[in-house]
Structure 1
Amino acid sequence: MPATALFMIMLGIVFGTMTVITANHWLTAWLGLELNMISVLPMITKQKHPRSTEAATKYFLIQATASSIMLLSSTLNAWKTGTWEITQLNDKLSCILMISALTMKMGAAPLHFWLPEVMQGTTLNTALLITTWQKIAPITLLYMISNHSQMEFTLLIGTLSILIGGWGGINQTQLRKMMAYSSVAHLGWTMAVISIAPNTALLNIIIYMIISTPMFLLLMNAPTKTLQATTTIWSFSPTTAILLTLLLLSMAALPPLAGFTPKLLIMDKLILHKLAPTTTVLALSSLLSLVFYLRMTYLMGSTIPPTTTQSTTLWRLKPNHNQLTTMLTPLALFNITIMPALMM
């Protein structure tokens, strides 16, 4: 892709997100989301492959449908309340429609069906963009309307997302689809607490982005796209294997790593609001996600010498000596230090 075209695309993505963050009017927010969506489409189709074209078509149709529902919701609210301000979403039906549209844009269950297919049809660079940056604008809008959100509705979406994210990830062997279902599960924790403690929900999604960004960058650096090929990462780059293991355990929410911190805070907020049974269901459902995280960790660790590799060695690849793993080491260490820091 030419540098000028890439610069214009990235400028559109950043400007669209900034427009949504600073918006106070529903039409301005809708305009920012549309600019963001149009800018991402060339990134998805840059492979020039039928699979990427299919992914771009699915992404466009889903995002356009969500935008239509969003316009319908804001119009209904303006009709009944006489205002287009984002923070004045007082009508219950409009609020439910708006939450549904925003969860469809992010890929939360039960409107998640497009996310694994789109991520599988794109490069890891674009998959990183979809799972991190593209969630900033919808999460910001959900944060703005959190005081009008229906707690029962957001809890239902959160519970379904955690269940489907864990259950769907177990059945996958493609790493991009596994990361898509991991994104669905983490969005579930965010949605479960967004109407009760929006600041905690924001912390959860920020820590998820901080953890998933170096993970995607390391997967780009490693010669693997499937679960079986992860057994060759140690022979390719031991440092990459160690960092990936640490990041995977953090995403699995094992204490004392960073991924456990927002989950603990979310469960604390839910219990304080007398939702202990729901908290128990969410905690048990997260064990499904733990299964495939630990499976990836086991496969990477099972080939450490003197154990023999369990798959065909990628003999054409030379050991990696670039500086990416060194640059990402501080982010990996962040996964150890954030837990004690927040507990103080």
Structure 2
Amino acid sequence: MLININSNKMFFYFTLFFSTLIAISSNSWLGCWIGLEINLLSFIPLISNSTNLLSSEASLKYFLTQSIASINFLFSILMKMMLLKNFEINNLLTIMINSSMLMKMGSAPFHFWFPNIIEGLSWLNSFILMTWQKISPMIILSYCFSKNFIIIIMTINVIIGAISGLNQTSLRKLMAFSSINNLGWMLSSIMISENLWMLYFIMYSFLISTLCFFFYMLNMFFINQLYTSNMNYMIKFMIMMNFLSLGGLPPFLGFFPKWIVINFLMENNFFLLTLIFIMMSLIMLFFYIRITYSSFMFNYLKLKWLKIHIKNNLLSLMNLFSLISILGMIFSTFFFY
């Protein structure tokens, strides 16, 4: 596989990486804000591609939403510095800081920009937006959050992510709503502990990277492409396993962090919240299975000439990743005991 990476792209990936480190390692609010701004300005050149008309629109939408969130964040931290003694206003400003961070990471109810932007991105940029771009807002959110507000946001995230994904035909939008659903789980894990959030985030990134890479290699952007293309059944099987793992089905790797989150929520008497989380996970699994089941069942005889041959050395690596995903419960049992 040849990836066209020039020095400009390498520079922007480098600044993207280090701006996140600046934001999460800063010891002042202003330092966090500067890190977020550098992050925004280094991601925009990566997504604005002159060949794709949607990508320039996506970069503009991304810039506008992130700028609004940054202005809100800057205003909140300046007000917080001035009005530190007033408790009621301080609480309101905490909610405002939380809201700006939630908007930056594409969380519901500020999620409207997120699926639209992902629709105009390549699979690599979609992967970066769904994983790496969530790190700094999430860490900053953990410094100062209003507990009741975050619990409401978690619930909204899980519900909207599950319900909105039901009628999607675009794989990128589907992955975006899946990301919104998982964001609810991530917010609950960051309320419990930062280590649990790191575990959840690493496992989620691993599963998302595998799926995005499969779709990138097969050049797929819509669900019907999975039906019509007569690709190898082994690849279809691997995609299905990764989807089920992402949905959090017990024998797979994706279930392990969700299991720990459910365990902590039950111990802290969040029974209704746990019920909502589990029910919405079932809806997520329903539309994952709907995609994969149909791709197994539909076999167009007229399109035999459309067989896809993937001559790619990285396919064996993808199979290894899928195997790790399948053997997830064995690994998780080792971790737990």
Letter aligned with residue 252 of structure 2: L
Q: What is the alpha-carbon distance in structure 2 between the residues aligned to residue 92 and residue 331 of structure 1?
A: 44
Q: Per the alignment, in what secondary structure is the counterpart of residue 121 of structure 2?
A: coil
Higher mean alpha-carbon deviation, 67-76 vs 195-204, is at 195-204
Letter aligned with residue 91 of structure 2: K
State the shift of 1:318 in Å. 4.2
Correspondence for 1:260 among 255, 259, 264: 255
Instruction: State whether structure 2 residue 203 is matched by structure 1 residue 213.
Output: no
After TM superposition, the score normalised by the length of structure 2 is: 0.91
Structure 2 residue runs of 5 or longer lacking an equivalent are: none
Correspondence for 1:339 among 301, 318, 332: 332
Structure 1 residue runs of 5 or longer lacking an equivalent are: 83-89
Root-mean-square deviation (CA, aligned residues, Å) is 2.1
Q: What is the alpha-carbon distance in structure 2 between the residues aligned to residue 47 and residue 166 of structure 1?
A: 33
Correspondence for 2:171 among 172, 175, 192: 175
Letter aligned with residue 81 of structure 1: L
Letter aligned with residue 65 of structure 2: I
Contact kept? 1:47, 1:122, Cα under 8 Å = no
Q: Per the alignment, in what secondary structure is the counterpart of residue 122 of structure 1?
A: coil
Correspondence for 1:247 among 242, 258, 279: 242
2:134 is matched with which residue? 135
What pairs up with 1:107-256 in 2 under 5 angstroms? 107-143=106-142, 145=143, 148-232=144-228, 235-256=230-251
- 1:317 to 1:13, Cα distance in 2 relative to 1, 3 A: farther
Contact kept? 1:161, 1:188, Cα under 8 Å = yes
Contact kept? 2:244, 2:288, Cα under 8 Å = yes
Q: What is the alpha-carbon distance in structure 2 between the residues aligned to residue 315 and residue 255 of structure 1?
A: 38
Contact kept? 2:189, 2:200, Cα under 8 Å = no
Q: What is the alpha-carbon distance in structure 2 between the residues aligned to residue 231 and residue 262 of structure 1?
A: 31
Instruction: State whether structure 2 residue 315 is matched by structure 1 residue 325.
Output: yes
2:63 is matched with which residue? 60
State the shift of 1:232 in Å. 4.3
State the shift of 1:27 in Å. 1.2
Contact kept? 1:154, 1:194, Cα under 8 Å = no
1:19 is matched with which residue? 22
Q: Could you report, residue by residue, the CA deviation over 1:156-187 in whole angstroms, capped at 9, with x for unpaired residues?
A: 11110111001111110000000000000000
- 1:314 to 1:19, Cα distance in 2 relative to 1, 3 A: farther
Q: Could you report, residue by residue, the CA deviation over 1:44-88 in whole angstroms, capped at 9, with x for unpaired residues?
A: 111433322211111001100111111122112211339xxxxxx
Q: What is the alpha-carbon distance in structure 2 between the residues aligned to residue 136 and residue 239 of structure 1?
A: 33
Instruction: State whether structure 2 residue 80 is matched by structure 1 residue 77.
Output: yes
Q: What is the alpha-carbon distance in structure 2 between the residues aligned to residue 48 and residue 9 of structure 1?
A: 19
1:286 is matched with which residue? 281
Report runs of 4+ in structure 1 exceeding 4 Å deviation. none
State the shift of 1:114 in Å. 0.5
2:266 is matched with which residue? 271
State the shift of 1:155 in Å. 1.0
State the shift of 1:248 in Å. 0.3
Q: Per the alignment, in what secondary structure is the counterpart of residue 91 of structure 1?
A: helix
Q: What is the alpha-carbon distance in structure 2 between the residues aligned to residue 159 and residue 315 of structure 1?
A: 47
2:98 is matched with which residue? 99
Q: What is the alpha-carbon distance in structure 1 between the residues aligned to residue 160 and residue 308 of structure 2?
A: 39
After TM superposition, the score normalised by the length of structure 1 is: 0.89
Q: Per the alignment, in what secondary structure is the counterpart of residue 96 of structure 1?
A: helix
- What is the percentage of aligned positions where both structures have the same residue? 29
Contact kept? 1:232, 1:314, Cα under 8 Å = no
Q: Per the alignment, in what secondary structure is the counterpart of residue 191 of structure 2?
A: coil
Contact kept? 1:237, 1:320, Cα under 8 Å = no
State the shift of 1:314 in Å. 7.9
Contact kept? 2:240, 2:289, Cα under 8 Å = no
State the shift of 1:18 in Å. 1.5
Higher mean alpha-carbon deviation, 21-30 vs 40-49, is at 40-49
2:8 is matched with which residue? 5
